[in-house]
Structure 1
Amino acid sequence: MIFAVVEDSRSQSEVLKALLKSEGHQVEVFSDGSSCIEALKTRVFDFFVIDWCLPDVGGDEVLRHVRERCGWDVPVVFCTGRTDEEAAADILRLGADDYIPKPIRYMEFMARIHALLRRRQPRAATVQFGNIEVDLEGRRVKLSGIDVELTQREFELAVILLHNVGRVLSRDELLTSVWARDAGVDTRTVDTHASRLRKKLGLSGESGLMLSSVYGQGYRLDTVHQG
């Protein structure tokens, strides 16, 4: 799925980009509304995340172009510093599907994205990766048909890794995606949880998947052929 993130804060857009890419989405970032509007003439996007206050044109103007070019089936989420009831009503009345108050709480952001995606395109309740079965709705995991007990963070890390088989994910990317803004958490936490998942889910090849540490980069999950 291709996301367009329209956000003038580089640090903010980079975090949102990392979160979305960690789940396998393609992301294009626009630092102002005009560049996004221009891109709409030749590009197709599946989802829009738009800052309400942009340096050139208003978020409402970007939304108008999105609806004209892409129709009403494409989800649009606004990020806004306005949290009053009137602002929320205005944003939704203009045609947005949802809005997220700033400062953005990243787990809430992803939960809202997931909720919109579920409504727009029904998906299977369970997905299979090698011998690992993941119930995305029930947040349960089975290995070769046997339930595996995972913590919330372990489950979230597992889902990100499983959706990115064959791709190197940096420790910082994983840290941002799973732990967001939790204080006192560093990349060693990623290493600890990766080690636990390797044991619990048989990610040394037993499950048909191998979790490897890539020196100086992060982690990569690969499929392996079982003899």
Structure 2
Amino acid sequence: MAQKILIVEDDIHISKIIKMNLTLVNYETVEVYDGLAALAAVKQEKFDLILLDVMIPKLDGFELMEQIKPYGIPVIFLTAKNSVYDKVNGLKLGADDYMVKPFEAIELLARIETVLRRYGKEEQVMMIQHVRVDLDKREVTLHGETVELTPKEYDLLVVLLKNKNIALSREQFLDKVWGSDYYGETRTVDMHIKSVRKKLQLQDHIKTIYKIGYRLED
């Protein structure tokens, strides 16, 4: 079942962009545009995480945070308020993270993933076509048959799945899979991508993005 995220953002354009990026990686989303609507939504539905702007009408983000704390829902503040005081205040109120606008979509997705993992809400089974990945077992199957991947091939596949429909550069793959202290050539990414494509029959789904890197398309 897709994890459900409540987007509380009064700028409709920003809200739609956030929704689009979350939908691309298979999150279910609900959008509201003021604090009272957010409070009503929390009382009526079950959410795995809330993305909360601070400066919203009717009930600001800090006030809303105090009222929804008993529900135990993870919260990431998304706001233009970038002072240390505001950040500390938000975290003291119980928020799990605090991001200052503007931010990159890939960073937001990474922060969401980290918070959900912390709460044990990270999706443990991921799929693309006939490929199934069990994160708990580190097991990959194709048409129900186990496929042996090297540790780096497995990690690369997981990065692709967690960023489905998002173009990632070779440098981003190196950072996420090999680590920030890796100083080898980006060509190693190409070699591992080629192997993953072949082993899992994903030639039509792992797209090469010219002069950038790769994107997994469902």
Residue pair 2:48, 2:121 contacting (<8 A) in 1 also:
no
Q: So what's the TM-score if we normalise by structure 1? A: 0.61
2:11 aligns to what?
9
1:55 aligns to what?
57
Q: C-alpha distance in 1, partners of 2:133/2:42?
A: 38
SS in 2 for 1:83: coil
The structure 2 residue matched to 1:145, chosen from 138, 148, 156, is 148
Q: Report the Cα offset of residue 110 of structure 1.
A: 1.4
User: What whole-Å deviation, never above 9, does each CA across 1:141-173 have from its counterpart, x for those lacking one?
Assistant: 8982133977x9986444444xxxxxxxxxxxx
Q: C-alpha distance in 2, partners of 1:199/1:83?
A: 46
Residue pair 1:6, 1:36 contacting (<8 A) in 2 also:
yes
User: What whole-Å deviation, never above 9, does each CA across 1:98-139 have from its counterpart, x for those lacking one?
Assistant: 111111222221111111111100768886764565769x9x
1:39 aligns to what?
41
1:34 to 1:212, Cα distance in 2 relative to 1, 3 A: same
Residue pair 1:148, 1:200 contacting (<8 A) in 2 also:
no
Q: C-alpha distance in 1, partners of 2:132/2:81?
A: 43
Q: How does 1:162-173 map to 2 (within 5 A)?
A: none
Q: CA RMSD in A?
A: 4.0
Gap regions ≥5 residues in structure 1: 162-173, 180-194, 205-209, 214-218, 222-227
Q: Report the Cα offset of residue 6 of structure 1.
A: 0.2
1:117 to 1:56, Cα distance in 2 relative to 1, 3 A: same
Count of aligned positions: 178
Matched residue type, 1:42:
Q
Gap regions ≥5 residues in structure 2: 169-192, 208-215
Matched residue type, 2:80:
G
